[in-house]
Structure 1
Amino acid sequence: MRQAYYNGFIYTGKEILKHLAVLMDGYEVLDIVPESAIPEGFQRIDVQGNHIAPGLIDLQIYGGNGQLFSLYPDVSTILATEQYCKAGGALYFQPTIATNEPGLMQKALEAYRQYRDRGGKAAIGVHWEGPFINPQKRGAHVEKYIRPLQKDEAKQLTEHQDALRTLTLAPECCDAACVEILLQAGIRVSAGHSAASYEQARQAFTKTGIRLTTHLFNAMSPLQTRDPGLVGAIFEDPAVYASIIADGIHVHPANIRISKAIMGNRLFLITDAVEESKNEPYIYLRQKDRYVNQEGVLAGSTLTMLKAVAYCVQQVGIALDEALRMASWYPAKAMGMDQQAGLLQPGYHSGLIVFDDNFELLYRSV
């Protein structure tokens, strides 16, 4: 049934509107009209003064509802993660698999194809975080599975561009020609888990063409007095996007605020959320508001995308409309989806969420 959402603050992604209604058909935005002009045949949903926004987009999440993609890369895990994402306001997401043995990482791609072939639309493709990363910046990744990217494997990966949407790698550990093969095939390469020097990072951005970076500040070479590192190169390059984990644990709120002031619409939110696991190779133990591995290394968050938006508003001091863009339009732009998602605009398939002043989800597109 087509629905009309009215009597709320409408955050289109470009402006804030009142006294209007958003007309939806599933995920499709049909129109935004005066409340008095809601057509017949629409289910009228009075949101009672709450907030209406585009569906959020999570480009890095490892699982949800008790399932972990790095251990069980199958359709059931994608579906469980989808339900977790939607309950937290994210209507599109990238199931993410951490550095693993080759067969399991390939299985993740097959699982996505099966999900898609069965009609799944919320998952937009798989994010491989690794295995082509720097062991010095592995974080909670399993070292024995880390390996360099060879040219033959890069060519083989181009055959999976329908499923492999994003690949995080350390540019200093990969030949530029291999990275270019991936980029030319339409796979989005993201620099992360990297100890790249400033010069190496600049080369990767300006010469090789990398335009994405993974969880700013975490597992990357920092900004220092005599080496700006990967962080400095990200700040400086106006074409490079960066994700960030806004939970107060992964990154200090002042660093989020400083980064936002420098990067503007190039900074977007992810959850980096995992699930508790007692099984090798990825043992994740929950400690209140975070997950750690068996060695106590920070391994993931307990975030939802709506919680990340709330943190940015309440703790970082970012305006609500801008925090929502960081969770919708900006990740859409980073993925080349900004002509179809991330905005409440007629013709977009962004979906819609409604939440209250406490950032509790009230309604979402189905």
Structure 2
Amino acid sequence: MLTIENINFYQNDILIKNHDLEIKGGLISSIKPSIKDNKESERIVVPGFIDLQIYGAGGRLFSAEPTVESLTIMEDDLLRRGTTGFLACMATNTPEVFNECIKAAKEHRTIAKNCLGLHLEGPFLNPKRLGAHIPEFVRKASLDEIKALLDFGDGVIKMMTIAPELQDDEVIEYLLNNGVVVSLGHSNATFQQATEAYNKGIQTTTHLFNAMSPIHHREPGIPTAVFNHNKAMASIIVDNQHVSFEVVKFSQKLLKERMFLITDAVTECSSGPYQHKLIGDKYVMPDGTLSGSSLTMLKAVKNCVEHCDITLIDALKMATEYPAKLIGSDQIFGKIGVGMEANLLVLDEALNIKQTIFKGNSLSN
């Protein structure tokens, strides 16, 4: 049994102070007022972070080195940084590279820790909104290809970013019926096309404002479609490079529980089609195109609080509860309560990670 003494935590948006949290068998077994220390604690326990879009960590870019070892290195590095659940992301690439990544993920899942599966960002995107993606690999999906892809994936493909305006309805319907979270992204959809896609069941939007039709006063575009919809969610990269902090600020006010954080993080890579170079605090391709971020989930949370007028509890939900709910894992991740799996972070008053607890085990940071 593991006991975390004299901590604070959020419950129903209220900060509960000076409690002891007991963990047994990997689950939170009890939460009760602390009796050992009357001194008011500055430490706060929060759920571990969930990142649904990350390309690399620990010096490994998964698509460049698609191996079980790469996923294991990414897992260990991300656990140290407080991410207790993530989807390894693959950018538009050749079928051979996709198959290698999927094969590695299937082999890895027998020993997987915090890797929850794969997010395929492409290749079924709009050539007009590619960002850093490679145009030669982009194509329209066929139903047979999607069926073969999911069959080969055998359950490891959890999320897919597509440009719905270029895909047949039967493709979208098949993905949704087979439990894949479908995200609208790298898309030039009009306001009407995006709204129709969300009404058909597409649940979310990939990195809001990036690689999509913009807001214009006569052509409202994808962001306005997300804002106006009653269910559609959106991920966002809060690094002030991909999206201005001021834009994050008003987007959160509009979307509330429908907006969640991703890092979209990459790592240095000098081989293969996606060669990322770190310049300052951003990554670029060899031609200077902005690529993935250098964010961590903790830094994204801090940016929300320090620069975007987002409360700590809301920022934490954007990094935990909301993405967990999207992928149907909110009974395991994203909340603190008796009976929940103990995937937790202990933060100090400056929001630095002092302790990571994963499946009930305390890890050194």
TM-score range, shorter chain: over 0.9
Q: Aligned partners of 1:92 and 1:30: how far apart in 2?
A: 21
Structure 1 position 47, deviation (Å)? 11
- Please give the alpha-carbon distance, in whole angstroms, between the structure 2 residues aligned to 1:294 and 1:122: 32
Q: Aligned-pair distance for 1:110?
A: 1.7
Q: What's the counterpart of residue 41 of structure 1?
A: none
Does the 8 A contact of 1:13 with 1:321 survive in 2?
Answer: no
- After superposition, the C-alpha distances for 1:329-364 in whole angstroms (9 at most, x for unaligned) are 011111111122100111212501012233321101
Mean Cα displacement is larger for which, 308-317 or 69-78? Answer: 69-78
SS at match of 1:124: strand
Please provide the CA RMSD for this pair.
1.8
2:264 match: secondary structure: coil
Please give the alpha-carbon distance, in whole angstroms, between the structure 2 residues aligned to 1:36 and 1:183.
50
2:223 maps to 231
Secondary structure of the equivalent of 1:76?
helix
User: Which residue of 1 is the match for residue 331 of structure 2?
Assistant: 339
Contact 1:307 1:359 in 2 (8 A): no
Report if the CA contact (8 A) 2:18-2:40 is conserved: no
Write out aligned runs for 1:30-179 (5 A).
30-36=29-35, 49-118=42-111, 120-159=112-151, 160=153, 162-179=155-172
* Aligned mates of 2:40, 2:150 — CA distance in 1: 45
List alignment gaps of at least 5 residues for structure 1. Answer: 38-43
CA contact (8 A) 1:97 1:105 kept: yes
Per the alignment, residue 310 of structure 2 pairs with 318
Residue 308 of structure 1 pairs with residue 300 of structure 2? yes
Q: CA deviation at 1:85?
A: 1.6
User: Which residue of 2 is the match for residue 18 of structure 1?
Assistant: 17
Q: Which amino acid aligns with 2:54?
A: I
Q: Secondary structure at the match of 1:249?
A: coil
Amino acid at match of 1:255: V
Give CA deviations for 1:154-204 in whole Å, capped at 9, x if unaligned: 222332351000000111111111111111011111110111111111111
Q: Which amino acid aligns with 1:126?
A: L
What is the percentage of aligned positions where both structures have the same residue? 38
| Deviation at residue 33 of structure 1 after TM alignment | 1.4
Return the TM-score normalized by structure 2: 0.94
Alpha-carbon distance between aligned partners in 1 of 2:30 and 2:101, rounded to the nearest angstrom:
37
CA–CA distance in structure 1, aligned partners of residues 156 and 265 of structure 2? 21
Contact 2:17–2:41 under 8 Å retained in 1: no
Alpha-carbon contact 1:13-1:329 (below 8 Å) kept: no
Report which stretch shifted further, 106-115 or 174-183.
Answer: 106-115
Cα distance 1:301–1:352, how it changes in 2: closer, same or farther (>3 A)?
same
1:239 and 1:216, CA in 2 relative to 1: closer, same or farther beyond 3 A?
same
Matching of residues 245-284 of structure 1 within 5 Å: 245-284=237-276
Say if 1:213 and 1:242, in contact at 8 Å, map to a contact too: yes
Q: Do the aligned residues in 2 keep the contact of 1:20 with 1:33 (CA within 8 Å)?
A: yes
Q: Which runs of 4+ in 1 moved over 6 A?
A: none
Cα distance between partner residues in 1 of 2:34 and 2:93 = 52
TM-score, scaled to structure 1? 0.93
> 2:115 is paired with a residue of what secondary structure?
coil
Match of 1:86, SS state, is helix
Equivalent of residue 184 in structure 1, options 177, 189, 214: 177
